[in-house]
Amino acid sequence: MSLPLAQGTWKADPTHTTIGFVAKHLGFTKVRGSFSEYDATVEVGDTLEDISIKATVNLNSVNTGNEDRDNHLRGQDFFGASDNPTMEFVSTKISGSGDEYTLVGDLTINGKTLPVEFDVEFGGVIQDPWGNAKAGFEAKAEINRSDWGIEWNVPVGDGLLVSEKVKIQIDTQLVQA
């Protein structure tokens, strides 16, 4: 079975895509961030097995709405963006049908690569007013940041300042290349 996309190359539309994350602060409030610089390509073949996805994110483009926090995230305590300026994802398996898919791939952060599984919801395909084929997807995953060596934290009460678990949230509109 194949995805309901035409064969060929699809690219993330940067004006209609958000690559973001959510972490808890003090154990009860959510801090949201996103990345403004990335490249994502989907190569679609005949079947799900023939589909490949590769995304590269510039970690220096992190934005949480707070410059001090963004600089801390870029530093050695978190992303170590001076040594490892990008985060990369390469798909290894896609399964599902209709509107629900599971995307498995290798995520590299801080030079360490581990498998991650995303729940993917397919939004549909449409031709925009200018004749471009567009497709929409939403993908969600949860990772433990310390698995990638991102271990900085401060004890607060019975918990930690920053949650170990981080939710990755991607809303993307692809355009056929």
Region for 137 from its dihedrals, namely left if φ exceeds 0, alpha if ψ lies in -120 to 50, beta otherwise:
beta
The predicted pLDDT at position 3 comes to: 56
38 close to 20: Cβ distance less than 8 angstroms? no
pLDDT in tens, 107-118: 999 999 999 999
Take residue 63 and report the two structure tokens written for it.
Answer: 């934005």
The predicted pLDDT at position 5 comes to: 86
The predicted pLDDT at position 15 comes to: 94
Q: What's the CA gap between 151 and 130, in Å, rounded?
A: 47
Q: What's the CA gap between 125 and 119, in Å, rounded?
A: 19
pLDDT in tens, 66-89: 999 999 999 999 999 999 999 999
Q: What's the CA gap between 106 and 90, in Å, rounded?
A: 5
The CATH H-level superfamily of 8-176 is: Lipid/polyisoprenoid-binding, YceI-like (2.40.128.110)
Regions of the chain with pLDDT less than 70: 1-3
Q: What's the CA gap between 71 and 63, in Å, rounded?
A: 9
pTM here is 0.93
